[in-house]
Amino acid sequence: MEPTILVVKSDSMSNLDEIVALVKEAGFNPKEIVSIKKIDNACFLTPGKIAKLRHLIEGNSVKKICIYAELKPRQVTCLVKELKVDVVDKVMLILTIFQQHAGSKEALLQIEMARLRHESPLIREWIRKVKMGELPGFLSMGRYAVDVYYKHVRRRIAKINRELEELRTRRSLEREKRRSAGYIHIAIVGYTNAGKTTLFNALTNLNKPTGDEMFTTLSAKSYAVKLCGTAFVFIDTIGFIRDIPVGIIESFKAVLEEISSADMIFLVVDGSKGLERIISEIDTSAIILRDVGAI
């Protein structure tokens, strides 16, 4: 795993086990964990924390830092300039994990859409800094090349958006067709790695991939069965995490619509965890279900 320095806000330290698990799942090995209380509007990290990170970066031969927060474009460019290393924020961290598990065209499109939407404001900031001469040679690109790349990104976002809209329309038509035939739709939801696909396999007699890693499922899987004379469609869905970034929710609308349009929701909870963790994960799941319009 690639060595990194992990930066976590103090109010998220109670959730450190989950954060470290995500960082490791993305392929990074946190050599040091730095807790921060104050946020600097310009650079995210205060001058004192930046000085501390410089020391840790040199001492651990680190070429990348991971900040478990959503950074503004100007904060990313400021940190890159100050620390001379790559900066991975919360959104890019989660998308790195998604990329490792994407198996379908839909999942790949959703991940690319989220990544490009996240990068687009950053590219605009790069262009501004390059024109001001503050990031000379950044990304080995000149001013013209960065401009061209930004236009390419905007065109690509528009194309992916059209493709995903077609997939959403197709899903919606399929749902309505099944509903007209009398099928009851049940969405299986819950925290990442809670056992949703295991339950889905048990109910459908299928053998969809399961594993200990996070986010094994990125595209909704549905299967029709008859139980006790009633027709059901069980839907396996993407796992939840605490404070999932809005940009990721936006890009995974097609999957999340399967939850909000279901007739019934099965919330799966890993009962092997401690009571405090179970309550926290149920609360997080309820918040996400509310945000996507399911409850």
Could you report the per-residue pLDDT of 179-222, keeping only the tens digit for each?
Answer: 899 999 999 999 888 899 999 999 999 988 776 766 766 667 88
52 compared with 120, residue with greater pLDDT = 52
The pLDDT score that the predictor gives to residue 245 is 80
In the predicted structure, residue 138 carries a pLDDT above the cut 50: no
User: What average pLDDT does range 70-88 have in this prediction?
Assistant: 90
| Length reported for the chain | 295
The pLDDT score that the predictor gives to residue 232 is 94
What's the CA gap between 71 and 203, in Å, rounded?
41
What's at 104, amino acid-wise? Answer: S
For residue 55, give both structure tokens: 């020391």
Average pLDDT over the chain, rounded to whole?
A: 86
Lowest mean pLDDT among 42-46, 94-98, 160-164: 94-98
Around Cβ 25, how many Cβ atoms within 10 Å? 21
Give the model's confidence band at 132: pLDDT under 50 very low, under 70 low, under 90 confident, else very high.
low
- Angle in degrees, 0-180, between the axes of helices 105-132 and 73-83, rounded to the nearest 10: 70
User: What average pLDDT does range 140-150 have in this prediction?
Assistant: 65
For residue 51, give both structure tokens: 């000085």
pTM: 0.78
Q: Which contiguous run of DSSP H or E holds residue 273?
A: none
216 compared with 116, residue with greater pLDDT = 116
The pLDDT score that the predictor gives to residue 253 is 73
pLDDT above 70 covers a percentage of the chain that reads 89
User: Within its chain, how far is the Cα of 49 from the centroid?
Assistant: 26
The pLDDT score that the predictor gives to residue 251 is 65
13 compared with 221, residue with greater pLDDT = 13
In the predicted structure, residue 142 carries a pLDDT above the cut 70: no
The tokens 């065209």 sit on which residue?
105
Around Cβ 84, how many Cβ atoms within 10 Å? 10
In the predicted structure, residue 246 carries a pLDDT above the cut 90: no
Around Cβ 73, how many Cβ atoms within 10 Å? 18
User: What average pLDDT does range 215-244 have in this prediction?
Assistant: 84
Cβ within 8 Å of residue 185, ≥6 positions away: 175, 178, 179, 232, 233, 235, 258, 261, 262, 263, 264
The pLDDT score that the predictor gives to residue 135 is 56
What's the CA gap between 126 and 85, in Å, rounded?
15
The pLDDT score that the predictor gives to residue 134 is 60
What's the CA gap between 89 and 68, in Å, rounded?
6
In the predicted structure, residue 278 carries a pLDDT above the cut 80: yes
